[in-house]
Amino acid sequence: MKSADKKQHSIPTLFSKENYLWMGIGAAIIALGMFLMSGGKNIDPNVFDDNVVYSKTRITVAPILIILGLLIEIYAIFKKKK
């Protein structure tokens, strides 16, 4: 075979660089939400402190961040290449 017969065909990528950037941002926001949801710990493990377990960060902020990250991921997947 001649080298001219061995043409390399480039396979088009499914996503562009901008899509991957948005996916990374979404994944980072989801990871931050998961980290915040894991929260702190009680000073004394024998005493139940409901202010730590049911804090505003764990109950409200973290789930909102996770949902926001998932919406960004959906946007990144459906965004068309330019």
pLDDT at site 77: 94
Per-residue pLDDT of the chain (82 residues; tens, 9 = 90+): 555 556 678 888 888 899 999 999 999 999 999 999 997 777 888 888 888 888 888 999 999 999 999 999 999 999 987 7
pLDDT at site 14: 84
Burial of 36 (0-12, 13-18, 19+ CB in 10 A): middle
Tell me, yes or no, if the pTM score tops 0.85. Answer: no
In this structure, which amino acid lies at residue 34? M
31: left (phi over 0), alpha (psi -120 to 50) or beta: alpha
| Cα-Cα end-to-end distance for the chain | 38
pLDDT at site 76: 95
